[in-house]
Amino acid sequence: MSGEFKRYLFEYRHDNAEWALEVLATSPEDAKQRLKALTWARYEGEISAKVSIPGGGIISRVLRAIGLNT
């Protein structure tokens, strides 16, 4: 898949509260398909830090491609 990733917002209700989820995708349809794919997600652990890698090296491009470097 190629193209520029954009941020799309989805809202949902849980425990009598409204929440939002941001999805990085190339189009609204791509975002909807990614949201559907979340049913296959598995728990990997708690995120304790976010690290930004400066520059355009291969690691930065890979992280951007999988939506981890925003």
Locate 49 and state its tokens: 């830090």
**DSSP code, position 66:** T
Extract the tokens encoding 15.
């425990």
- Domain for residue 6, yes or no? yes
User: Is the pLDDT assigned to residue 54 strictly greater than 80?
Assistant: no
Asked whether residue 58 is domain-assigned, the answer is: no
1: pLDDT strictly greater than 70: no
Amino acid at 65: A
Q: 55: pLDDT confidence band, cut at 50, 70 and 90?
A: low
Query: Does residue 64 lie in a domain region?
Result: no
Q: Tens digits of per-residue pLDDT, 11-39?
A: 999 999 999 999 999 999 999 999 999 99
Prediction pTM value? 0.61
In a domain, 59, yes or no: no
DSSP-derived pairing of the beta strands 17-25 and 6-14? antiparallel
Range of the domain at 33: 1-42
Number of domains in the chain: 1
Is the residue at 60 inside a domain? no
